[in-house]
Structure 1
Amino acid sequence: MSALTVLMPVFNSERFLAQAIESILDQTFQDFEFLIIDDGSSDKSQEIIRSYADPRIRFLHNERNLGISPTLNKGITLARTELIARMDADDICHPTRLEKQYAYMQANPDCAMVSSLVRVVSETGEFLRQDQFDSRYFYYNLNFVCWIYHPTVMYRKGAVQKVGMYTAAYSEDFELFWQLARNHKIHNLPEALLDYRITNQSLHQVLKKQEYDQAQKEQLLRNFRYYAGEDYTLPDKYLECLQHDFTSLLQEQRVSSLYQCIKELRFLNQKILAKENINADPKAIAEAAYYKERFIVSALVRQLPRHKAVLFLLSLGKMRMLKQLISSKLLSHKP
């Protein structure tokens, strides 16, 4: 039996599919089955997959398009190994990705999922950015936003099945990762092991952006209620702000709303700190909470009229930032 399964769903991915497949077949770690499930493609995706004679490839075809979550759940069920590495049909794995993640999971049997950083690239493969996320802050930030890139994860089949596998039609990765983090250790390797491609077919950023945005708002409220109680709620403008979309709050231009949003963030931070969790590191949570508040306040202040920025900082007791504002030196911030 193989040591792990690489699970890759495919849907009309002919443009980048060969590059994705070859980046898996060329891994330094070779002991895997490569489970590829075509979800009813109408382009040449099936033809491309069938052109590879590598015996590690297991190719399955959905007779009709089921969607990402049912297809992934099918793959998890059919995987022959306990360790499953996710892959997407338009991304590129770095050669040592599987080797390094497999080694980590072997050395840490209590860890349910390991991810990595990525290089974000354009459709044509040009480098766009590399996020410098601090792995110590993943647990805290997973309550607000998904820092984890889906095709970088390697997880344990049993742990994923225990939390119900993929249960959401949209933002399915965010949902699964948060559920895993409630009761299982997760970890992020602090190096880029995959090129993550942004295309005009990206579901969460282009084709289904509205649906994904709404799903994430609902997930945020669910996350917050886990800490603050079932009756806890927040208006959409605050949910958006906590995900670093400041449009609605800035359109209002109301200092009282800005202050209330930060007050709610401080309340949630206290609740997160108080909740026992296998991933909880109080020092890391406190640091992450500090940086999040500083980032939000700094971003808002930069876009407010000067007199409102002064009132906002006064209401929060941010005297140091106020002095820097008055001297026209806005606080630099850490993402």
Structure 2
Amino acid sequence: MSSSNEQKHNTSPWVTFCMTTYKRPDFLRDQINELFKQTFTDFAIIIHDNDTTASAKSVVESFNDPRVQYFTNEENLGMVKSFNRSLARATSPYVVMITDDDPVYPDMLQTVYDLTIQYPGFGMYYGGCNIMYNNPEVAKPSRGKVGMNSCLADLPIDTVRTFSGQQFPFAFFSGETGHMLWSCGIVKREIALAVDGMPDFGSPYNTDFGYMVLCGAREGVVLLNRALGHQVVHGANYGFTESDFEKFYIVPEAWIAWIQQRLPQKNDYTGLQKLMEEYTGRWVVAYAMSIKRYLNDKKLTNDNFNKFVRKIFRISYLRKWKMKYLLAVRFPNLFELLIEAKRRMFDRKR
């Protein structure tokens, strides 16, 4: 195992964690504490605060560590632009885009550093992830269980796969990669900048996926089938505000167009649009279903949500998904049985 101490002669860190935050000092404090547990120590942390009152400044100053750089935005720029501000300040060869509430495991950087030595020449080096549901209110609507849920591919632990730039978008949208979390790996900084960082297509939804697809399409991906971190679903990050429903509607067309316009023109992506539409259809149904289940469990009604659901299923390629959504909402037990039957058929074919 390589030692990060060998890197300390560098004047610039090997990797930078790029982060944004907004009025969540406890989350930020916990996240910085977790990042300081990395066994590979040649890193920096750059934080942009969307709170103009600099409410997170005292948290950062309490660590008194030069590896952490803190900046306050002149206004609330929103998540996407604030993340990209942090990316723009990075000077390291590699970057990690990370939220203030999704921890990575202590060996994450050491693991991906070793992958760069064993598999040189790629633009992205990633591991898998888990999802942590903190309470039944968010676990049940998402068809998960309270606690840790694995998102790894159905392969032996520690399997390493490599994808060329042309292969990776197909692997991602077909589900071959397993669920990926953008904080569980590194990207060459020059690639992250070349794709304009976090996609700014008018909605925060799926921007992390768009970022990974576009970065991976440049110089390929090395993917380790071992969880290197986890996403935390705790309620405060679970899109229930009415303002998010309009942004939900933006996604199906805007993020597909954004990705297609920025994929490397040298590669052949024939057939990719169909995969992207299937992926987006599944995401739309899963998201709408989770919100509807939450509202039902709470015995709440939300006319604004219902309006946008009707509107989103009028989009041409999503019309066929409307019946799946209605089936999931009205007959959830039957829907689960059909999902399980389909999974078993797929396993037999493999």
- Using the size of structure 1 for normalisation, the TM-score is 0.64
1:215 paired to 2:251: yes
Deviates more, 1:69-78 or 1:208-217: 208-217
Distance 1:28 1:222, change over 3 A: closer
Q: Name 2:182's counterpart in structure 1.
A: 150
Give 3-state SS (helix, strand or coil) of 2:210's partner: helix
Q: Name 1:187's counterpart in structure 2.
A: 222
Q: Name 2:312's counterpart in structure 1.
A: none
**Structure 2 spans left out of the alignment, 5+ residues:** 1-10, 136-145, 155-159, 262-267, 290-318, 322-333
One-letter code aligned to 2:191: A
One-letter code aligned to 1:119: N
Of 49, 52, 69, 2:63 maps to 52
Q: Name 1:298's counterpart in structure 2.
A: none
Distance 1:41 1:22, change over 3 A: farther
- Assess if the C-alpha contact under 8 Å between 2:152 and 2:179 holds in 1: no
CA drift at 1:73: 1.9
Give 3-state SS (helix, strand or coil) of 2:183's partner: helix
One-letter code aligned to 2:151: D
- Number of equivalences: 263
State the alpha-carbon separation in 2 of the partners of residues 233 and 130 from structure 1.
Answer: 27
After TM superposition, list the pairs within 5 Å mapping 1:227-238 onto structure 2: 227-228=269-270
1:15 paired to 2:51: no
State the alpha-carbon separation in 2 of the partners of residues 98 and 156 from structure 1.
Answer: 14
- Assess if the C-alpha contact under 8 Å between 1:144 and 1:242 holds in 2: no
Give 3-state SS (helix, strand or coil) of 2:151's partner: coil
Give 3-state SS (helix, strand or coil) of 2:45's partner: strand
Higher radius of gyration, 1 or 2: 1
- Using the size of structure 2 for normalisation, the TM-score is 0.61
Distance 1:213 1:28, change over 3 A: farther
Q: Name 1:322's counterpart in structure 2.
A: none
One-letter code aligned to 2:123: A
CA drift at 1:51: 1.3
State the alpha-carbon separation in 2 of the partners of residues 160 and 222 from structure 1.
Answer: 15
After TM superposition, list the pairs within 5 Å mapping 1:46-195 onto structure 2: 46-123=57-134, 127-134=147-154, 139-143=169-173, 147-168=179-200, 169-170=202-203, 171-195=206-230
- Assess if the C-alpha contact under 8 Å between 1:73 and 1:165 holds in 2: yes
**Structure 1 spans left out of the alignment, 5+ residues:** 249-259, 263-301, 310-324
- Assess if the C-alpha contact under 8 Å between 1:6 and 1:84 holds in 2: yes
State the alpha-carbon separation in 2 of the partners of residues 118 and 182 from structure 1.
Answer: 20
